[in-house]
Amino acid sequence: MSEKTVIIKIDGIEIKAKAGQTIMQAADEAGVYIPRLCYLKDLTPHGSCRVCTVKVNGRYQTACTEPAVDGMEVENKTQELEGLRRDIIDMLFVEGNHFCMFCEKSGNCDLQAEAYRLGICAPKFPYLFPDRDIDGTHPDIFIDRNRCILCGRCVNASRDVDGKTVFEFVGRGSEKKVAVNADAKLGDTNMALTDKAADVCPVGAIIKKRIGFAIPVGKRTYDQKPIGSEIESKS
Amino acid sequence: MAKPKIATASLAGCFGCHMSVLDIDERILKLIELVDFDKSPIDDIKKFTGRCLVGLIEGGCANEENVHNLKYFRENCDILISVGDCAINGGLPAMRNNIPLKECLDEAYLNGPTVYNPSGKIPSDKEIPLCLDRVYPCHEVVKMDYHLPGCPPSADTIWEALVALLNNKPLDLPYELIKYD
């Protein structure tokens, strides 16, 4: 029996989706890019960053968690939603210490790439310059919480893919941070360089040691084409 | 008709953005045909000689002299532009922002591993501008009209911005020219 398909409209354009797919999955397959930060294919979506917020039949929903239902009218690339996304990105920049000029992830960073895509030249909110810690105790992996945007990708990857639960959130509000499941530091955990959790950080908060700046400027992932171009090229 | 004037300043920055201005290479001859340079480290004019159309600001505000200079530019320029990451987010100097100022000065003048300071005093001459509690991006001190990100922004970014403004066109940078590094 063939899979049931549903028809949804994104910004007025009809696309086919398989029953059970989320709006994000259907949009990706149809070549429509919905901006995202915490979402990563193969990880359980949890809609925490809110960057993929779309309007579904007039109500705000996160595209990565909302199932596609027949007849849905989805708004994605509107002035209002782009403005809200810009605000989220702006807030993520001012709430951390994002010094792109010396970050190893620069050019391959999803946060930076979403900002580039939205044409952000400077955040409009005042910088907080929070006091965050770093953890270089692991022989192969480095944590710089100054750059962490609390997307939870490392938490999910470690729990669901690696089966280790190395990472977890602790604290609330501005005190919230990624912690490790050891009494002291990352070096005391069983995290390995080959773990999925070492690969999923969208920013430069969890990076592998000794491979930084391997790709020259101009050839990095987002140097020439905006994030999402590979999805949009399908349409 | 007199040519419009451009002024530039380096606050708490490394002069890399000024190097990027010079990096526009032979186009600088074209620029000289279009504008006059007023107060700038490039020509070493110390005070404004008249109203300027565009002021390019490199660096953030780390001391009272930076704030004074920035306000002076705001008063004398129609359009003020943050050039580079230090002007936009404090840049590398802002790495001291979550360390108390006293600790920074103690490390620099008393406790640093290479410090030789038999007097044990932190310099406090009246000629030395007072440090601010932290490094402030320019738009947190005065209103800035545009921002050119990058460390430094490329010469093309600066060129595109100036050409657009001089031709009274909107400053709409293409994707390749918006970079934070």
CA distance B159 to chain A (A): 16
Beta bridge partners of B77: B52
Question: In this complex, is the C-beta atom of B147 within 8 Å of any C-beta atom belonging to chain A?
Answer: yes
8-state DSSP, A146: G
- B155 vs A185: CA distance, rounded Å: 44
The band of B2, judged by pLDDT with boundaries at 50, 70 and 90, is confident
Amino acid letter for position A42: D
Question: In this complex, is the C-beta atom of A121 within 8 Å of any C-beta atom belonging to chain B?
Answer: yes
Q: Decide if A99 and B98 are in contact by the 8 Å CB cutoff.
A: no
A178-189 confidence digits (pLDDT tens): 999 998 899 999
Closest CA to B13 of A129, A112, A101: A101
Beta bridge partners of B6: B37, B54
Distances (CA, A) of B43 to B27, B37, B76, B161: 17, 7, 17, 21
The band of A2, judged by pLDDT with boundaries at 50, 70 and 90, is low
Q: Decide if A119 and B98 are in contact by the 8 Å CB cutoff.
A: no
8-state DSSP, A4: P
Cβ burial of A148 (10 Å; 0-12, 13-18, 19+) is buried
CA distance A8 to chain B (A): 31
Taking residues B72-99, report their average pLDDT.
Answer: 97
The band of B67, judged by pLDDT with boundaries at 50, 70 and 90, is very high
**A-B interface: how many C-beta pairs under 8 angstroms?**
69
B7-42 confidence digits (pLDDT tens): 999 999 999 999 999 999 999 999 989 999 999 999
How high is the pLDDT of residue A235?
A: 75
Given the structure tokens 């279009």, which residue do they identify?
Answer: B34
Does residue A173 sit in helix, strand or coil?
helix
Strand pairing category for B77-83 and B52-58: parallel
To probe the interface with B, which of A94, A98, A100, A227 has the most B CB atoms within 10 Å? A100
> What pTM does this model have?
0.95
Q: Decide if B94 and A127 are in contact by the 8 Å CB cutoff.
A: yes
Does residue B122 sit in helix, strand or coil?
coil
